[in-house]
Amino acid sequence: MSSSDAGLEEGPELSITLTLRMLMHGKEVGSIIGKKGETVKRIREQSSARITISEGSCPERITTITGSTAAVFHAVSMIAFKLDEDLCAAPANGGSVSRPPVTLRLVIPASQC
């Protein structure tokens, strides 16, 4: 653990609620939801963050994560690990084919920029 990480854990908990919105492709959202919603349920329980995913059959959906800074950080970390896990599990047809990068696009209102 780095010294900057230690400072986050030892300091008092900030009393703010953070909301993060990410625009994600359908395949990525499907990975986060999991079979019968099991993956997103587990992420919600372990991180204590509120996670909602927009409805619809459009190619991109908005994932909203709300909670304390620590809860949101934990949820986003779990999402990133899940996406990486699924990407590593995908069969490479050509042997040493490079994996495409996963891009998480944050949706930030203009008033907050």
What confidence score (pLDDT) does residue 56 get? 82
- DSSP E strands, the chain: 18-25, 50-53, 60-67, 105-106
CATH superfamily of 17-88: K Homology domain, type 1 (3.30.1370.10)
Q: How many Å is the Cα radius of gyration of the chain?
A: 16
> What whole-number percentage of the chain has pLDDT above 90?
47
What confidence score (pLDDT) does residue 9 get? 52
The stretch 8-24 carries a mean pLDDT of: 75
pLDDT tens per residue, range 57-107: 888 999 999 999 999 999 999 999 999 888 887 665 555 566 677 778 999
pTM over 0.75: yes
